[in-house]
Each structure stands twice: as C-alpha cells, then as structure tokens.
Amino acid sequence: MSKTKIDLETAEHLADLSMLEFSPDEFDKIINVMENMIDIMNKVHDFDSSKTQSNQSFIEYTDLRTDMNYNSYQNEEILKNADVTENGCFVSPKTI
C-alpha cells in the first residue's frame, strides 16, 4: 500500500478537533511524523477481516452500583486545583 499523505487542510482540521494549534513549521513537522505513524497503522489494511465474526471487546461490565447519596467534596477542596475562580465557581471565558 502506498504511503498515506496528509495535506495541510486535513492536518488543520485534525488540529481543530484536537483543540491544538500549530505554527506552519510545526505543521510540517507533525505531518511528517503522522505520515510515518499512519504507515505503521496501515498494516491493519492487510488483515483479512472476513473470517472474524465480530469486533466486540472482551471487556465485561459488572452491575452498576446502587444510586445512593454520598458525601462529596467540599467546594473549596475542588476549586483548589483551578487556576482562576470567582465566588466559589470555576471561571471560563464567555461562550454565549
């Protein structure tokens, strides 16, 4: 299989989905590395999936716990790790 090429537009779209920003130089670099990594991942295309019945995971989930009230953390304790707080709340830039 020929090497997958990532164009700048795709890389910019992926960066947007990833909530990341890159300078033009950084884009060149990451596109190069990604193409090489996708080359490794392309190996899955050689796999003959026709004989495999399902793609379900082996993970089993146990019963969910009973929905009960527990003591939670104090507000101040949770806010301790936030860089910017105001009146006992996290602070986010205005979105609406």
Partner 1 sequence: MRLKELRNLLDNKKIGAVELVKEHLNQIEKYDKNLNSFITICADEAIANAKIAQSAIDNGKSKLLTGFPISIKDNIITKDIKTTCASKMLSDFVPPYNATVIQKIIESGAVIIGKTNMDEFAMGSTTQTSYFGNVKNPYNTDYIPGGSSGGSAVSVSADMCVASLGSDTGGSVRQPSSLCGVTGLKPTYGAVSRYGLVAFASSLEQIGIIAKCAEDTAYILDVIYGFDEKDTTTSKSHFGGYTSLIGSDIKPLKIGVPKEIYTHNLDNEVKEAFVKSIEYFKSIGTEIVDVSIPSVEYAVSAYYLISSAEAASNLSRYDGIKYGYRSNEYADYNTLVKKTRNDSFGDEVKRRIMLGNYALSAENYENYYKRAMTVRKQLTSEIEYIFANTDVILTPTIPNTAYKIGEVDIYKIYNDDMYTSLANLTGYPSISTTCGYDKNGLPIGISFMGRKFDEKTIVAVCDDFENTFERRGNDYEIHSGNRA
Give whole-number Cα distances, 10 to 5, 44, 71, in Å: 10, 21, 47
Of 7, 24, 69, 84, the one binding partner 1 by CB under 8 A: 84
Helix (H) or strand (E) holding 32: helix 24-41
Q: Confirm or reject binding of residue 41 to partner 1 (CB under 8 A).
A: yes
Q: Using alpha carbons only, give the angle 68, 71, 77 rounded to the nearest 5 degrees.
A: 140
Nearer to partner 1, 84 or 87 (CB): 84
Which of 8, 28, 37, 75 forms a contact with partner 1 (CB under 8 A)?
37
Give me the 8-27 binding string for partner 1, x by CB under 8 A, dash otherwise.
---x-xxx-xxxxxx-----
Among positions 47-76, residues that touch partner 1 (CB under 8 A) are: 47, 49, 51-65, 73
Q: How far is the CB of 24 from partner 1 (least distance, A)?
A: 14
CA angle, corner 27, sides to 22 and 28, nearest 5? 155
